[in-house]
């Protein structure tokens, strides 16, 4: 028998499959399209991202943390993607920019945003009190009305205390859900969906949004509402610590920025700061348009995160970075997940957030007494 050429052995080892996709037809579904036709380049990475999400992150033993950055909710991705993912039990906790939550609120309050086009006359828009986010436009009154909603709500007695951001958003979500149902807009807001499903929603930079600006104004009025960002650090670490003790932790990162760092820093907080034995998140899935060579966190690779203890070194094969606009990728990821996985029962981590944080504190202080 003729010996196999060494290069053929290597080719066999590194080949996933032969490139021979079937022709696309009118009956080709989204999941089949991704599995069979998204083969190489960033299409290939998107296929890998979809498959990692459906097979690993959405396994019964994996707690999924989702991050949101960029103007996703103004583009309608809250109601089209995030609400279905939350309602299917595919998201267990969230770290979002405050802006995504603020603009999400417009829809729950019955306010309209509109498709337009880029390159409009911004001076004319300003003169007519129209706000633009690239090719999205809306009335300036949306901002004023949303500001009034949060100021009126947060002047009430229920808000006159200190909150972590997940606690604040959960309580705000309760009242926003009631308003949403009253107006007949249920299903329009991811924050209200998270409230109903018991999904904690953190904001890593609570002062960096219009919600934070309005809360700051209430502080000048003499209100007692305070946001404690350090509480967020311990509560988010408690969620990951609990996940890793009983299963696995997966991070699903849309964009980068502060939410990405906040969800990943839970592992250094557990290992480096609290001194508890841990090895990093198990699964890492990111959609980003940021390059790694600039040194910014948004483009940092999972292997780089591994050096910080943020990702388990043994799990690097279960990491995917897809270099693509989130507004392109998220609807496809959502459709793929919903078609490939049955719904999961909601974990309702918000209901146990205080108890899990106390448990983390007890283990930390117990270890401290031994050293």
- Indicate which residues carry an active-site annotation: 310
Three-point CA angle 299, 305, 307, nearest 5°? 135
- What is the distance between the alpha carbons of residues 214 and 209, in angstroms, rounded to a whole number? 9
Judge whether 236 and 266 are in contact, CB under 8 Å. Answer: yes
- What is the distance between the alpha carbons of residues 121 and 138, in angstroms, rounded to a whole number? 14
Three-point CA angle 80, 85, 89, nearest 5°? 155
Q: Dmax over Cα atoms in the chain, in whole Å?
A: 88
Query: Is 354 in a helix, a strand, or coil?
Result: helix
For residue 319, list its beta bridge partners. 284
Judge whether 164 and 235 are in contact, CB under 8 Å. Answer: yes
Of all helices (H) and strands (E), which one includes residue 201?
A: strand 201-203
Query: Is 179 in a helix, a strand, or coil?
Result: helix
b/e 176-189 (16+ beta carbons within 10 angstroms → b): bbebbeeeebebbb
- Structure-token pair, residue 209: 């949004």
Neighbours of 337 (CB within 10 A): 21
Length of the chain in residues, anyone? 371
Neighbours of 30 (CB within 10 A): 15
- Say which residues have a Cβ less than 8 Å from residue 64's Cβ, sequence separation at least 6: 57, 58, 90, 91, 92, 93, 250, 251, 252
The candidate with the shortest Cα–Cα distance to 86, out of 334, 286, 257, is 334
- Structure-token pair, residue 269: 């907080």
* CA-to-CA separations, 179 to 63, 108, 143, in angstroms, rounded: 30, 7, 17
């Amino acid at each position: 028998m003729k010996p196999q050429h060494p290069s053929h052995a290597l080719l066999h080892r590194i080949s996933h499959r032969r490139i021979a996709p079937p022709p696309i037809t009118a009956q080709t579904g989204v999941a089949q399209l991704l599995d069979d036709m998204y083969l190489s380049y960033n299409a290939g990475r998107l296929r890998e991202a979809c498959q990692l999400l459906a097979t690993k992150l959405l396994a019964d033993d994996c707690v999924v943390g989702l991050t949101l950055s960029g103007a996703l909710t103004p583009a309608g991705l809250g109601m089209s993607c995030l609400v279905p993912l939350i309602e299917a039990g595919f998201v267990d906790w969230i770290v979002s920019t405050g802006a995504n939550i603020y603009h999400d609120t417009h829809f729950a309050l019955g306010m309209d945003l509109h498709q337009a086009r880029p390159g409009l006359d911004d001076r004319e828009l300003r003169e007519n009190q129209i706000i633009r986010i690239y090719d999205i436009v809306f009335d300036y009154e949306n901002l004023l009305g949303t500001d009034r909603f949060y100021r009126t709500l947060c002047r009430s007695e229920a808000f006159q205390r200190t909150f972590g951001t997940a606690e604040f958003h959960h309580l705000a979500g309760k009242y926003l859900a009631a308003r949403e149902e009253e107006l007949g807009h249920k299903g329009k807001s991811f924050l209200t969906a998270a409230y109903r499903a018991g999904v904690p929603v953190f904001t890593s930079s609570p002062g960096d949004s219009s919600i934070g600006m309005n809360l700051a104004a209430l502080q000048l009025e003499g209100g007692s509402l305070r946001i404690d960002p350090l509480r967020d650090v311990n509560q988010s670490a408690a969620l990951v610590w609990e996940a890793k003790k009983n299963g696995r932790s997966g991070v699903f990162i849309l964009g980068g920025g502060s939410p990405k760092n906040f969800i990943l820093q839970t592992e250094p907080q557990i290992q480096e700061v609290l001194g508890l034995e841990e090895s990093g998140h198990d699964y890492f899935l990111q959609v980003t348009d940021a390059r790694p060579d600039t040194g910014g966190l948004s483009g940092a690779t999972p292997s780089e995160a591994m050096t910080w203890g943020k990702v388990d070194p043994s799990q690097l094969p279960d990491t995917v970075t897809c270099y693509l606009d989130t507004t392109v990728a998220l609807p496809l990821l959502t459709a793929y997940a919903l078609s490939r996985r049955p719904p999961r029962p909601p974990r309702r981590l918000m209901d146990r957030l205080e108890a899990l944080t106390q448990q983390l504190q007890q283990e930390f202080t117990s270890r401290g007494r031994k050293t």
